[in-house]
Amino acid sequence: DYPMARVLSTAGIDILLVGDSLGMAVLGYKDTKAVNLEDMVRHSAAVVRGNAGNSLIVADMPIATTNNAAQAIVNCRLILDKTGADAVKIEGEPAVVEAVVSSGIAVMGHTGLKPQTAEKYGVVGKQLVDAENVFQEALALEKAGAFALVLECVPIDLADRITAAVKIPTIGIGAGVGCDGQVLVCNDMLGFNDNFKPKFLRQYLNLNDAIMKAAIAYRDDVLTGNFPNDLESYH
Protein backbone atom coordinates (compact mmCIF):
# COMPACT_ATOMS: atom_id res chain seq x y z
CA ASP A 1 0.00 0.00 0.00
CA TYR A 2 0.99 3.68 -0.07
CA PRO A 3 2.57 4.07 3.38
CA MET A 4 4.50 0.80 3.10
CA ALA A 5 5.82 1.79 -0.34
CA ARG A 6 6.87 5.20 0.97
CA VAL A 7 8.91 3.65 3.81
CA LEU A 8 10.44 0.81 1.78
CA SER A 9 11.43 2.99 -1.17
CA THR A 10 12.98 5.58 1.16
CA ALA A 11 14.94 2.74 2.79
CA GLY A 12 16.53 1.99 -0.58
CA ILE A 13 14.72 -1.21 -1.52
CA ASP A 14 15.53 -1.76 -5.21
CA ILE A 15 12.29 -3.38 -6.37
CA LEU A 16 8.80 -3.22 -4.91
CA LEU A 17 6.85 -6.22 -6.18
CA VAL A 18 3.12 -5.81 -5.70
CA GLY A 19 2.48 -9.52 -5.41
CA ASP A 20 -0.80 -11.37 -5.60
CA SER A 21 0.23 -12.66 -2.17
CA LEU A 22 -1.63 -9.55 -1.02
CA GLY A 23 -4.63 -11.87 -1.25
CA MET A 24 -3.51 -13.60 1.94
CA ALA A 25 -1.34 -10.90 3.54
CA VAL A 26 -3.76 -7.99 3.13
CA LEU A 27 -7.20 -9.14 1.97
CA GLY A 28 -7.63 -12.27 4.08
CA TYR A 29 -8.10 -14.82 1.29
CA LYS A 30 -6.84 -18.38 1.75
CA ASP A 31 -4.62 -18.19 -1.36
CA THR A 32 -3.74 -16.04 -4.37
CA LYS A 33 -6.49 -17.41 -6.59
CA ALA A 34 -9.13 -14.93 -5.39
CA VAL A 35 -7.06 -11.89 -6.40
CA ASN A 36 -8.29 -10.13 -9.55
CA LEU A 37 -7.20 -7.32 -11.85
CA GLU A 38 -9.11 -4.71 -9.85
CA ASP A 39 -7.21 -5.68 -6.70
CA MET A 40 -3.86 -5.47 -8.48
CA VAL A 41 -4.68 -2.12 -10.09
CA ARG A 42 -5.75 -0.62 -6.74
CA HIS A 43 -2.70 -1.76 -4.81
CA SER A 44 -0.15 -1.20 -7.59
CA ALA A 45 -1.36 2.36 -8.09
CA ALA A 46 -1.06 3.01 -4.35
CA VAL A 47 2.51 1.68 -4.36
CA VAL A 48 3.43 3.87 -7.34
CA ARG A 49 2.06 6.92 -5.50
CA GLY A 50 4.09 5.97 -2.43
CA ASN A 51 7.37 5.43 -4.29
CA ALA A 52 9.48 8.11 -2.64
CA GLY A 53 12.78 6.80 -3.98
CA ASN A 54 13.90 5.13 -7.17
CA SER A 55 12.37 1.70 -6.60
CA LEU A 56 11.31 -0.29 -9.66
CA ILE A 57 7.60 -1.11 -9.33
CA VAL A 58 6.50 -4.53 -10.61
CA ALA A 59 2.84 -5.59 -10.64
CA ASP A 60 1.94 -9.27 -10.39
CA MET A 61 -0.48 -10.55 -13.02
CA PRO A 62 -3.25 -12.41 -11.18
CA ILE A 63 -4.56 -15.85 -12.10
CA ALA A 64 -6.47 -16.25 -15.37
CA THR A 65 -5.32 -12.88 -16.78
CA THR A 66 -2.52 -14.25 -18.98
CA ASN A 67 -4.04 -17.48 -20.31
CA ASN A 68 -3.04 -16.62 -23.87
CA ALA A 69 -0.88 -14.05 -25.60
CA ALA A 70 -3.66 -11.74 -26.79
CA GLN A 71 -5.37 -11.65 -23.40
CA ALA A 72 -2.06 -11.17 -21.61
CA ILE A 73 -1.02 -8.19 -23.72
CA VAL A 74 -4.36 -6.44 -23.11
CA ASN A 75 -4.34 -7.09 -19.35
CA CYS A 76 -0.67 -6.26 -18.83
CA ARG A 77 -1.09 -3.00 -20.73
CA LEU A 78 -4.22 -2.20 -18.69
CA ILE A 79 -2.36 -2.61 -15.39
CA LEU A 80 0.58 -0.48 -16.51
CA ASP A 81 -1.64 2.24 -17.96
CA LYS A 82 -3.87 2.43 -14.88
CA THR A 83 -1.09 2.29 -12.29
CA GLY A 84 2.12 3.69 -13.72
CA ALA A 85 4.03 0.56 -12.69
CA ASP A 86 7.25 -0.17 -14.54
CA ALA A 87 6.78 -3.87 -15.28
CA VAL A 88 4.64 -6.93 -14.68
CA LYS A 89 5.40 -10.40 -13.33
CA ILE A 90 4.01 -13.55 -14.96
CA GLU A 91 4.21 -17.07 -13.50
CA GLY A 92 5.73 -19.51 -16.02
CA GLU A 93 4.26 -19.36 -19.55
CA PRO A 94 7.39 -18.55 -21.64
CA ALA A 95 5.38 -18.23 -24.86
CA VAL A 96 3.07 -15.68 -23.26
CA VAL A 97 6.02 -13.81 -21.76
CA GLU A 98 7.63 -13.62 -25.21
CA ALA A 99 4.50 -12.11 -26.73
CA VAL A 100 4.11 -9.56 -23.93
CA VAL A 101 7.77 -8.54 -24.13
CA SER A 102 7.47 -8.23 -27.92
CA SER A 103 4.59 -5.80 -27.38
CA GLY A 104 6.93 -3.49 -25.47
CA ILE A 105 6.11 -4.46 -21.89
CA ALA A 106 8.85 -5.38 -19.40
CA VAL A 107 8.23 -8.77 -17.77
CA MET A 108 9.72 -10.39 -14.70
CA GLY A 109 9.56 -14.19 -14.96
CA HIS A 110 8.71 -16.66 -12.21
CA THR A 111 9.51 -20.36 -11.91
CA GLY A 112 9.84 -23.02 -9.24
CA LEU A 113 6.78 -22.98 -7.00
CA LYS A 114 4.01 -21.19 -8.88
CA PRO A 115 1.19 -20.55 -6.38
CA GLN A 116 -1.45 -19.79 -8.99
CA THR A 117 -1.30 -23.30 -10.46
CA ALA A 118 0.36 -25.39 -7.72
CA GLU A 119 -1.75 -28.17 -6.23
CA LYS A 120 0.13 -27.77 -2.95
CA TYR A 121 2.76 -25.41 -1.56
CA GLY A 122 6.24 -26.80 -0.99
CA VAL A 123 9.73 -27.14 -2.41
CA VAL A 124 9.81 -27.77 -6.17
CA GLY A 125 12.73 -29.48 -7.86
CA LYS A 126 13.87 -32.07 -5.36
CA GLN A 127 13.32 -34.85 -7.87
CA LEU A 128 15.57 -34.97 -10.93
CA VAL A 129 12.73 -34.65 -13.44
CA ASP A 130 11.15 -31.75 -11.57
CA ALA A 131 14.50 -30.00 -11.25
CA GLU A 132 15.13 -30.31 -14.98
CA ASN A 133 11.66 -28.94 -15.74
CA VAL A 134 12.32 -25.87 -13.57
CA PHE A 135 15.76 -25.39 -15.13
CA GLN A 136 14.42 -25.58 -18.67
CA GLU A 137 11.58 -23.19 -17.86
CA ALA A 138 14.12 -20.72 -16.44
CA LEU A 139 16.11 -20.86 -19.66
CA ALA A 140 12.93 -20.48 -21.72
CA LEU A 141 11.84 -17.43 -19.70
CA GLU A 142 15.21 -15.78 -20.26
CA LYS A 143 15.01 -16.54 -23.98
CA ALA A 144 11.46 -15.12 -24.02
CA GLY A 145 12.87 -11.77 -22.89
CA ALA A 146 12.20 -11.67 -19.14
CA PHE A 147 14.48 -9.07 -17.51
CA ALA A 148 14.70 -10.95 -14.19
CA LEU A 149 13.56 -14.26 -12.76
CA VAL A 150 11.93 -15.12 -9.43
CA LEU A 151 12.96 -18.57 -8.15
CA GLU A 152 10.47 -19.68 -5.50
CA CYS A 153 11.02 -22.60 -3.12
CA VAL A 154 13.67 -24.53 -5.02
CA PRO A 155 16.72 -26.36 -3.61
CA ILE A 156 19.90 -24.32 -3.27
CA ASP A 157 21.84 -26.35 -5.83
CA LEU A 158 19.12 -25.89 -8.45
CA ALA A 159 18.92 -22.14 -7.78
CA ASP A 160 22.71 -21.89 -8.07
CA ARG A 161 22.65 -23.85 -11.33
CA ILE A 162 20.01 -21.56 -12.82
CA THR A 163 21.77 -18.41 -11.60
CA ALA A 164 25.00 -19.55 -13.25
CA ALA A 165 23.24 -20.47 -16.49
CA VAL A 166 21.23 -17.29 -17.12
CA LYS A 167 22.48 -13.78 -17.77
CA ILE A 168 19.47 -12.07 -16.18
CA PRO A 169 19.24 -11.53 -12.40
CA THR A 170 17.65 -14.26 -10.28
CA ILE A 171 15.61 -13.26 -7.25
CA GLY A 172 15.14 -15.95 -4.65
CA ILE A 173 12.43 -16.70 -2.13
CA GLY A 174 13.28 -19.94 -0.41
CA ALA A 175 16.05 -20.50 -2.97
CA GLY A 176 19.24 -19.88 -1.00
CA VAL A 177 21.83 -17.14 -0.86
CA GLY A 178 23.30 -17.81 -4.33
CA CYS A 179 20.59 -15.86 -6.16
CA ASP A 180 21.36 -12.31 -7.31
CA GLY A 181 18.64 -10.86 -5.10
CA GLN A 182 16.03 -11.85 -2.51
CA VAL A 183 12.34 -11.14 -2.01
CA LEU A 184 10.09 -11.51 1.03
CA VAL A 185 6.46 -10.55 1.58
CA CYS A 186 6.84 -7.36 3.62
CA ASN A 187 3.98 -8.20 6.01
CA ASP A 188 5.63 -11.54 6.77
CA MET A 189 9.09 -10.01 7.18
CA LEU A 190 7.67 -7.41 9.56
CA GLY A 191 5.79 -9.93 11.67
CA PHE A 192 2.13 -9.20 10.97
CA ASN A 193 1.18 -12.89 10.95
CA ASP A 194 2.20 -15.09 13.88
CA ASN A 195 0.86 -18.21 12.17
CA PHE A 196 2.96 -18.07 8.99
CA LYS A 197 6.54 -19.18 9.60
CA PRO A 198 8.00 -21.00 6.58
CA LYS A 199 11.61 -22.08 6.73
CA PHE A 200 12.79 -19.32 4.36
CA LEU A 201 11.23 -16.44 6.34
CA ARG A 202 13.39 -14.24 8.55
CA GLN A 203 11.22 -11.97 10.71
CA TYR A 204 12.93 -8.62 11.25
CA LEU A 205 10.25 -7.08 13.46
CA ASN A 206 7.16 -8.13 15.40
CA LEU A 207 4.66 -5.51 14.30
CA ASN A 208 1.79 -7.70 15.43
CA ASP A 209 2.82 -7.29 19.07
CA ALA A 210 3.85 -3.65 18.67
CA ILE A 211 0.51 -2.66 17.14
CA MET A 212 -1.39 -4.70 19.72
CA LYS A 213 0.39 -2.91 22.58
CA ALA A 214 -0.26 0.48 21.00
CA ALA A 215 -3.95 -0.30 20.45
CA ILE A 216 -4.38 -1.49 24.06
CA ALA A 217 -2.61 1.61 25.40
CA TYR A 218 -4.83 3.86 23.26
CA ARG A 219 -7.97 2.07 24.40
CA ASP A 220 -6.95 2.35 28.06
CA ASP A 221 -6.09 6.05 27.75
CA VAL A 222 -9.51 6.78 26.21
CA LEU A 223 -11.36 4.78 28.87
CA THR A 224 -9.49 6.48 31.74
CA GLY A 225 -9.82 9.98 30.29
CA ASN A 226 -6.06 10.27 29.78
CA PHE A 227 -6.53 10.93 26.06
CA PRO A 228 -6.88 13.58 24.86
CA ASN A 229 -5.14 15.74 27.46
CA ASP A 230 -5.20 19.53 27.62
CA LEU A 231 -2.29 19.95 25.21
CA GLU A 232 -4.10 17.73 22.67
CA SER A 233 -7.29 19.82 22.85
CA TYR A 234 -8.26 23.11 21.17
CA HIS A 235 -9.15 26.22 23.25
Q: Is residue 65 within 8 Å of residue 75, measured between CB atoms? A: yes
CA–CA separation, 108 and 91 (whole Å): 9
- Could you tell me the end-to-end alpha-carbon distance of the chain, in angstroms, rounded to an integer? 36
**Catalytic option among 98, 137, 152, 232:** 152
Helix (H, G, I), strand (E, B) or coil at 152: strand
CA–CA separation, 12 and 14 (whole Å): 6
DSSP 150: E
198 cis-preceded (ω within 30 degrees of 0): no
Residue 142 annotated as catalytic: no
Q: Is residue 17 within 8 Å of residue 89, measured between CB atoms? A: yes
Residues tagged active-site: 152
